A = this chain, B = another copy of it.
């Protein structure tokens, strides 16, 4: 184990240098979704390779069918980690709404805090550089890293990551590590660090119910002919009981109860239904009775209609009994729920509700399992203690209601758990004009990674 204190001191001593390096990276307009910026994406990748080389990484720009991936390897004695970030950024439009040019980073005072303004400052250049700076300080002080570190910086995260699956497939052996470290998430608030330990999975399915072989006149046939909208509506209504529990048989297989200490922690966070739902004009949480808001959105599965259509939907009225009606239904999954098992159970649930003279077609729109770091995993305990040491506040074990695709891919393709630590804040305006990253996030983020790397090696 290497001594941590001089590493933290080195990070503090080189604050200005670290900021200037981040500014250099932000100045490269690496917008991945617009082909006009293709050369800049490559330039950002090359800048990262060059910077990693100064720290002793064997780094290279790796071509893909789209924008390149940066991979860098550094030896170390401890466990092996794969650090993930992305160097591409969102477009800047509407450009007129930026208070300063998006690719001319600068320090500003906002709401009493010093922030780094610029596109990509938070998402994800500032975040990924916290890790790079931690490695740099270790190398400077000790001449080595406390872990065997591989970094992977993607260039297409903001444009659907079309190349990442083939890249991971082709380079699985090279990239496999004991666990992944992913820096693309937020703190709980500006003072409170957070680790995202669970991400909900997804099962997406469309149903198309056919009754009559044509649209019917509701005067002539009404009262006798099956109406597919009613069939679909009944299926949707049957999905949940009055207590919000989902009634697809076997649906809750693989759903774990969240440990009481974690629930107690969540309950202490003060995310009230009034505040959370009030922000969108609602008040009362739906979902399973007896579960708190955070449990409902973080640790419980859902079955939800995302779209429905049938019959006449234009202006005015038409007394038709349509031949078809359809709905798009998705389930957010948690823990060990298996998407394809849920899909099969859902299809059976639907079939049982379609009358014998009607039919249903299913369209599989994909799915992904949930990812969940066990609350008692050693790596989680180490990262949690390291963050608490740095920030002086208990680290929140948080979950996310949606998925982060790369985490699912690391799990599915490389068999790796991911530790998701990030220093973004809810007011960072990512994807919007005037994106910023708190200077404090950047500085203490780097110190946090130094502590985590040290703790992992212990």
Interface, chain A (partner B; CB < 8 A): 200, 202, 204, 206, 211-214, 216-227, 229-230, 232-234, 236-240, 273, 276-277, 280-287, 293, 296-297, 300-302, 304-313, 316-322, 325-328, 330, 332, 355-358, 365-366, 400-403
Contacts and interface: CB of A to CB of B under 8 A. Distances in A.
A232 to B, nearest CB: 7
A401 B284 contact: no
A80 to B, nearest CB: 31
Q: How many copies does the complex hold?
A: 2
B309 A213 contact: no
Given A308-B310, A357-B284, A332 B403 contact: no
Nearest to A204: B317
Nearest to A328: B317
A328 B214 CA distance: 19
Contacts of A212: 280-282
Contacts of A213: 280-281
Contacts of A327: 229
B230 A236 contact: yes
Contacts of A230: 236-237, 239-240, 304-305
Nearest to A318: B306
A328 B233 CA distance: 13
Given A229-B305, A311-B328, 5 more contacts: A221-B280, A229-B306, A233-B236, A282-B358, A286-B355
Nearest to A312: B307
24 contacts: A213-B281, A214-B281, A218-B332, A220-B401, A223-B301, A223-B332, A224-B273, A224-B287, A224-B296, A225-B280, A225-B286, A226-B282, A230-B236, A232-B308, A284-B355, A284-B357, A306-B317, A306-B322, A307-B310, A307-B311, A308-B309, A308-B325, A313-B328, A317-B366
Contact of A401 (B222, B276, B280): B222
A131 to B, nearest CB: 26
Contacts of A280: 212-214, 216, 221, 225
Contact of A306 (B214, B312, B356, B402): B312
Contacts of A312: 306-307, 328
A402 B332 contact: no
Contacts of A311: 305-308, 328
A309 B313 contact: yes
A332 B221 CA distance: 11
Given A224-B286, A225-B286, A317-B206, A402 B293 contact: no
A202 B320 CA distance: 13
A164 B309 CA distance: 36
Contacts of A307: 229, 310-313, 318, 320, 322
